[in-house]
Structure 1
């Protein structure tokens, strides 16, 4: 039986969706917080995830990115937001599809079946870790060295990478990363951090969509794994 993890904090919608999918022969687990949802990834092992963007304990796009780092299962994002920028952000975070609320449960099922056809049936097991690359910083030339090959970075990217490499494994909030780059009194949107992280991943990760070094910590920020 196909297992679907429904991440929805609206009790009425969550219950309605759960009952409908169960009637359609899906095995369903409902989670109302990001913490419960992330824990369910290993315990429930869903074949697909339906994820609401508005959650009480974290931003849904951040959770989506954390899911994508751990699994290849299809993710359908649902949201009241219909702007193109919101759709792009969700897809960039790893979502396979985006459905604007209010939606038809029949349409949701059709989209669910469509994304399931694109992937082989499997459980949501964690991806095996790929061999790490050799990564170091050349402080004098302000370069990242990847397997000895110099990688050009912007000032902000290098400063952020320097902070990461000096504190491996530590989880940094977005505002901490911003302060390290621009100074505590600077007015810069925290979303700029996500842009820098995306650019760094493209430069140092073998696959930027499944990063092994710069990890998302949902609801908090990022950490670096040497």
Structure 2
């Protein structure tokens, strides 16, 4: 039984979503504010977080950023906000999906299953151990052989990607990435020097993000620069090719 943590202060919406998810076999708990919601993560160890943007005590995006410091649990933001820039901001904060209120319960459930399925298929090194143990108990799977690709910079492996665990290391330290950031970084490392247009990168990540746009690609690139560059404002590795897109260079 998959666990869903809903952080939602609207009782009517919370009760309705809880009822539908329980009917689909999910174990659901609801917290009404960000403080109790964050506290519940370590105790409940959810497989998915449904997060309202506007909460009584905290901004939903601030919660999203805080969760992303320690966990890669899938996060779906559910909000009345529906502008593209707001969706992009949610993506930049680390959300995996975004749904606008009002929404179809059938679509919500389908997206919930999809997010959990992807998280199981591509587990993070920082995945909560109890959640992973539950998944392993459901089905004994022989671990695949790890495949590591690396970009040599400054005469050493600065960036390594493990395609089995879908984890990225920068100078030996694990750095959390979203699904799309990992896919973009894998393209870059496998094809150094190749210029990728935004459309190329959109095609690369489509199917991982439910809302990808040219602007979202720019957000992914900005986030990756923060994670791998010594000075993100003057990037050495992920270069902008003006009028075309981006390319990755290494020593």
Q: If the TM-score is normalised by the length of the shorter chain, which range does it land in?
A: 0.5 to 0.7
Q: Structure 2 matches for 1:135-174, cutoff 5 A?
A: none
Name the SS for the 2:120 alignment partner: coil
Higher relative contact order (CA 8 A, sep 6+): 1
2:236 is matched with: none
After TM superposition, where is structure 1 displaced by more than 2 Å over at least 4 residues in a row? Answer: 121-128, 198-201, 203-206
Indicate the RMSD between aligned Cα atoms, in angstroms: 3.2
Partner of 2:58 in structure 1? Answer: 58
Spell out the pairing of 1:28-67 with structure 2 (5 A cutoff): 28-67=28-67
1:202 matches 2:229: no
CA 1:40/1:200 → structure 2, altered by over 3 Å: closer, same or farther? same
How many pairs are equivalent? 141
What TM-score, normalized by structure 2, do the two folds share? 0.50
Corresponding residue of 1:115: 115
Distance 2:124 2:63 in 1: 15
| Contact 1:80 1:100 (C-alpha < 8 Å) held by counterparts | yes
Determine the C-alpha separation between the residues in 2 that align with 1:59 and 1:93: 11
Give the unaligned 5+ runs of structure 2: 129-170, 172-218, 233-251
What corresponds to 2:93 in structure 1?
Answer: 93
Measured at CA, do residues 200 and 113 of structure 1 come closer, stay the same or move farther in structure 2, by a change above 3 Å?
A: closer
Q: Aligned partners of 1:50, 1:125: CA distance in 2, in Å?
A: 22
CA shift for structure 1 position 104: 1.0
1:83-119 CA distances to partner (integer Å, 9 max, x unpaired)?
Answer: 1110000011111111010001111001111111111
TM-score, length-normalised on structure 1? 0.55
What residue ranges of structure 1 are gaps of 5+ in the alignment?
A: 129-146, 148-194, 209-226
Give the equivalent residue in structure 2 for 1:7.
7
- Matched position secondary structure for 1:82: coil
Q: Tell me what 1:211 maps to.
A: none
